[in-house]
């Protein structure tokens, strides 16, 4: 669809500078802007592109002050990043969604499905399942026995939800996500073999949780592995059995949380972070990428880094010394050699 700069500004409660009637029908990155598209400037390091972009309209923060002439129409908003997110959400909502039940679908007779449900080709809904209203189940999804899927949830192609798991309202599970696979539970035996411990619990995803592609959340041995309301997990994450992730916590790709760890609310965990099992991370903690957390973090709102991780400021000061260790070692060797030479000649 086509929109004028003025229509966009009215929707965003922004202010137009330039041609209010210029028309856009697509979006683009500011560095790759094309005529007829809308772009945005939120990060100051991209400011140079606004003076050369071919994008017709650019969203900027209200405080933006150009240092050179700008040829495009700009719309000043409170927060350009939030504004573009709102527009992309609007665009997504305007995209027609699939509906109905495709052929080659299996829905067990005892399963219950709500209104407005879509089920794609070769998907399976097993016995005892309850599927809420307006759920979208894309092709090749498997839903095991007695699973509950809440209203307005989306399961993208290839998602697997094992038996007895609970997925709340408004969740999004991306392609290849596995919910409820067995936890890694094995007891060593005297014959140097391992006995598998049955994983009898389930996984609970509360409302508005998003799970990235190929992320795995293991079922609990007893009880539930729980991802609380509003949490967002990136692609390629491993969440082990009996873990609990707090409300509105975000976790970046390739991170792993070992069994029975408890992560608080509003935490921000960078990529490739490893968290040892059976520990607690307080609310609001930020963990830098590639950190290894081997002990509990009991104070709220800390920022930590390193492996083993400790306070961010201390890590940064220590890192200054880490980089100098080879030079310091050479200086120490020289001092030792000088002392040895002095002793030899004394």
CATH number at residue 79: 3.40.1390.10
Q: Are both 188 and 54 inside the same structural domain? A: no
Could you tell me if residue 212 is inside a domain?
Answer: yes
Q: Are both 141 and 78 inside the same structural domain? A: no
Q: Could you confirm whether 248 is annotated as catalytic? A: no
Q: What is the per-residue pLDDT for 298?
A: 96
* pLDDT tier at 178, thresholds 50, 70, 90: very high
Could you tell me if residue 146 is inside a domain?
Answer: yes
Q: Are both 160 and 283 inside the same structural domain? A: yes
Q: Are both 225 and 208 inside the same structural domain? A: yes
Q: How many domains does the chain have?
A: 2
Residue 308: is its pLDDT beyond 80?
A: no
Task: Supply the CATH number for residue 301's domain.
Answer: 2.160.10.10
Other CB atoms within a 10 A radius of the CB of residue 336 amount to 10
Q: Are both 264 and 139 inside the same structural domain? A: yes
Could you tell me if residue 344 is inside a domain?
Answer: no
Could you tell me if residue 39 is inside a domain?
Answer: yes
Residue ending a domain, choose from 94, 120, 141: 94
Residue ending a domain, choose from 94, 114, 131: 94
Q: Are both 127 and 222 inside the same structural domain? A: yes
- Give me the domain span that covers residue 149: 100-311
Q: What is the per-residue pLDDT for 112?
A: 98
More confidently predicted of 323 and 253: 253
From residue 192, how far is each of 1, 184, 186, 188, 189 by CA, in Å? 66, 17, 12, 7, 6
For 222, phi and psi rounded to 5 degrees?
-135, 135
Q: What percent of the chain has a predicted confidence (pLDDT) above 70?
A: 99
| Sequence-ordered list of residues with C-beta below 8 angstroms from that of 328, at least 6 positions apart, any chain | 321
Q: Are both 108 and 73 inside the same structural domain? A: no
Residue 109: is its pLDDT beyond 90?
A: yes
Q: Are both 105 and 237 inside the same structural domain? A: yes
Could you tell me if residue 219 is inside a domain?
Answer: yes
Whole-angstrom Cα distance, residue 20 to residue 18? 6
Whole-angstrom Cα distance, residue 156 to residue 125? 14
Q: Are both 304 and 180 inside the same structural domain? A: yes
More confidently predicted of 329 and 40: 40
Could you tell me if residue 326 is inside a domain?
Answer: no
Catalytic residue among 166, 241, 248, 278: 241
Could you tell me if residue 321 is inside a domain?
Answer: no
Residue ending a domain, choose from 73, 94, 115: 94
Q: What is the pLDDT of residues 120-152, one digit of tens each?
A: 999 999 999 999 999 999 999 999 999 999 999
Could you tell me if residue 324 is inside a domain?
Answer: no
Q: Are both 75 and 185 inside the same structural domain? A: no
Q: Are both 231 and 250 inside the same structural domain? A: yes
Q: Are both 285 and 139 inside the same structural domain? A: yes
């Amino acid at each position: 669809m086509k929109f004028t700069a003025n229509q966009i500004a009215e929707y965003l409660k922004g202010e137009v500078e330039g041609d209010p009637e210029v028309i856009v029908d697509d979006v683009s990155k500011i560095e790759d802007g094309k005529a007829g598209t809308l772009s945005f400037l939120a990060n100051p390091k991209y400011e140079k592109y606004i003076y050369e972009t071919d994008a017709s309209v650019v969203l900027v923060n209200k405080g933006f002050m150009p240092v050179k002439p700008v040829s495009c129409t700009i719309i000043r908003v409170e927060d350009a990043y939030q504004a573009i997110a709102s527009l992309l959400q609007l665009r997504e909502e305007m995209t027609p969604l699939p509906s109905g039940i495709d052929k080659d679908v299996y829905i067990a007779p005892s399963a219950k499905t709500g209104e407005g449900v879509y089920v794609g080709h070769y998907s399976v809904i097993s016995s005892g399942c309850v599927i809420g209203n307006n759920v979208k189940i894309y092709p090749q999804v498997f839903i095991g026995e007695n699973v509950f899927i809440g209203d307005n949830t989306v399961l993208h192609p290839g998602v697997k939800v094992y038996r007895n798991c609970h997925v709340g309202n408004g969740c999004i599970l991306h392609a290849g996500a596995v919910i409820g696979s067995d936890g890694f539970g094995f007891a060593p035996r005297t014959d140097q073999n391992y006995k598998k411990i049955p994983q009898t619990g389930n996984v609970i995803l509360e409302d508005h949780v998003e799970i990235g592609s190929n992320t795995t959340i293991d079922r609990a041995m007893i009880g539930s592995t729980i991802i609380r309301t509003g949490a967002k997990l990136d692609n390629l994450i491993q969440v082990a059995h009996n873990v609990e992730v707090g409300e509105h916590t975000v976790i970046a790709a390739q991170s792993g949380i070992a069994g029975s760890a408890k992560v608080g609310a509003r935490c921000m965990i960078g990529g490739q972070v490893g968290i040892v099992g059976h520990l607690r991370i307080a609310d609001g903690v930020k963990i830098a990428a590639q950190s290894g957390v081997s002990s509990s973090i009991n104070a709220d709102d800390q920022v930590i880094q390193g492996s083993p991780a400790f306070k961010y400021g201390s890590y940064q000061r220590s890192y200054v010394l880490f980089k100098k260790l080879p030079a310091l070692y050479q200086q120490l060797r020289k001092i030792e050699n000088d002392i040895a030479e002095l002793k030899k000649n004394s």
